[in-house]
Amino acid sequence: MGQHIRLSLDHSYLSLPDKMYQKVKPTPVKSPQWVVFNQRLAKELELDYQSLSSDQGLELLAGNHVLDGIESIAQAYAGHQFGHFTMLGDGRAILLGEQVTSKGERYDIQLKGAGKTPYSRGGDGRATLGPMLREYLVSEAMHGLGAPTNRSLAVVMTGEMVMREEPLPGAILTRVAASHIRVGTFQYIRQYGTTDELRILADYTIARHFPEIQQQPNIYLSMFKEIVKRQAKLIAKWDLLGFVHGVMNTDNMAVSGETIDYGPCAFIDVYDPATVFSSIDQHGRYAYNQQKRVAVWNLARLAESLLPLIEIESDDAIKDLEAILHKFSEVYQDAWSKGMRAKLGLFTQQADDDNLIKELLTLMTTFKADYTDTFRALTLSDFNSQQWFVSNDFKQWYQRWQKRIQCQTQTLDQIKQHMKNHNPSVIPRNFRVEQALSAAVEKQDFKPFNKLLNVLLSPYAYTDEQKVYAELPPVTEQGYRTYCGT
């Protein structure tokens, strides 16, 4: 059946030590059907999207058929989950292989929810429709917003019910990532492997993600420096967008610098730096204003894992690793400040810009302002959406901002376009996401999902179609909580 599909995947991960994965095949499902297929992404990956979106492709992405030559695996890793170390691994995700483009770019193709693996730890290995559609929607929205992220190629329904608190329709997500090598992957091999195996993993990671450093001295220190830099820029981007990952365990931090594992993620509405969305985050460990701190903590765990390799190439390994880790704040602050200036239409940096930004955020906190809408209003000079815009505090700040803008040589049109390029007209508003998911799960009505997805693909376009999706959520949406869906 599947031989009509033209798909040739590489399997470079199999070159790593055997303990880093287990060969496993997806568990077939009852009666798969398409929910969504990402033709745009398929083209970017140079996949044969016509055959992949066929009936044969459906059988492949549902796990009912494994093509000749595909050696599917579940990857092993460990991780600190809410600060506690544990052995993990792909409990419901199965890696089909790696698509290599004509430019030499390598991408993992993974089925999430494809059945039990040796790492399922008593779980059923399945996923439900709502969380898989959430990951598809938010990951593609994040890509549109310019944040490094894994992507979503497809969601298929399995025709089977999955037991959670209640029976829910099952689904499988086809996920695409630069790789699924995590901080927890290094923790796993450090805990359960040898120094030689740790070196093999590090060399593989460098060849795959950081080939430009292969000729540098102290190559493993250089790798750590690149990972720290990418993570600092990623977290700055999250914070600029008002994105809360929700579960920043070390197994959910990809060394590639991409956002992975969209579980209880959400975007803040009311600007409150202490916002927590995840229902299981009782103490705010992964709150919006804690993401930078947690990223540094996670990277410190990576540094510990790399220590045996660094000690070989450095006389004072711990000191060198700490020095690199301290650079995180500098890289983050530079990226965040540049991003915030761009959101305010500032092309250059002046001494008082930090105060201007700080004052705005303080006002937004005081008045419980909507984060995304505030910057959208500044971009469009449309202040009808929020009551706090009529306050004297805002008017005084606005005058200072206007005076600062007028110091620039750019025209007003150039400034407005600069702001449009950095302030999204739309984000995956939590209440819109929930509406779309409820319609899909409860009524098998995918129109709201597809409409929302369509406007989120070009969030900086400021189209008429996006206006309704830019509307503020009902007051009842405050206190919003998300659930991981496992």
With a CB cutoff of 8 Å and minimum separation 6, the contacts of 4 are: 51, 54, 56
Domain-located, residue 171: yes
Give catalytic status of residue 352 as yes or no: no
Which helix (H) or strand (E) is 228 found in, with range?
helix 219-241
What pLDDT score was predicted for residue 478? 57
Strand spans (E) along 233-357: 243-244, 266-267
Residue 5: band (very low, low, confident or very high) from pLDDT cuts 50, 70, 90: confident
Residue 85: band (very low, low, confident or very high) from pLDDT cuts 50, 70, 90: very high
**How many Å apart are CA 24 and CA 118, to the nearest integer?**
8
Domain-located, residue 431: no
**How many Å apart are CA 154 and CA 168, to the nearest integer?**
19
Answer yes or no: do 173 and 195 share one domain: no
| Residue 156 clears pLDDT 70, i.e. is over it | yes
From 287, 320, 341, the end of a domain falls on 341
pTM recorded for the entire structure = 0.95
Answer yes or no: do 172 and 187 share one domain: no
Domain-located, residue 149: yes
- Percent of the chain at pLDDT exceeding 90: 90
Residue 482: band (very low, low, confident or very high) from pLDDT cuts 50, 70, 90: low
What pLDDT score was predicted for residue 268? 95
Answer yes or no: do 115 and 33 share one domain: yes
What pLDDT score was predicted for residue 481? 57
Answer yes or no: do 168 and 207 share one domain: no
Q: How would you class 4 by CB atoms within 10 Å of its CB: exposed for 0-12, middle for 13-18, buried for 19 or more? A: exposed
What pLDDT score was predicted for residue 279? 64
Read off the pLDDT of each residue in 348-371 and give the average, rounded to a whole number: 97
Matching residue, tokens 């450093």: 213
From 341, 356, 373, the end of a domain falls on 341
Half-sphere exposure of 462 (CA within 13 A, CB side): 15
pLDDT tens figures, 16-61: 999 999 999 999 999 999 999 999 999 999 999 999 999 999 999 9
Mean residue pLDDT of the chain comes to: 94
Domain-located, residue 72: yes
What pLDDT score was predicted for residue 486? 47
In which domain, by residue range, is 43 found? 2-177
* Catalytic pick among 90, 108, 239, 251: 251
Answer yes or no: do 269 and 226 share one domain: yes
pLDDT tens figures, 329-341: 999 999 999 999 9
Answer yes or no: do 74 and 213 share one domain: no
From 306, 341, 376, the end of a domain falls on 341
How many domains does one find in the chain?
A: 2
Q: Which parts of 67-194 fold into alpha helices (H)?
A: 129-145, 183-192
Answer yes or no: do 103 and 21 share one domain: yes
Strand spans (E) along 164-240: 167-177
Amino acid 286 reads: Y
Q: Which parts of 423-478 fold into alpha helices (H)?
A: 430-443, 447-456
Question: What region, left, alpha or beta, does residue 224 occupy, with left being phi > 0 and alpha being psi -120 to 50 degrees?
Answer: alpha
Read off the pLDDT of each residue in 324-352 and give the average, rounded to a whole number: 97
Domain-located, residue 456: no
Answer yes or no: do 120 and 20 share one domain: yes
User: Rounded to whole angstroms, what are the CA distances from 324 to 176, 234, 296, 318?
Assistant: 30, 17, 11, 10
Answer yes or no: do 159 and 193 share one domain: no
Q: How would you class 208 by CB atoms within 10 Å of its CB: exposed for 0-12, middle for 13-18, buried for 19 or more? A: middle
Answer yes or no: do 284 and 224 share one domain: yes
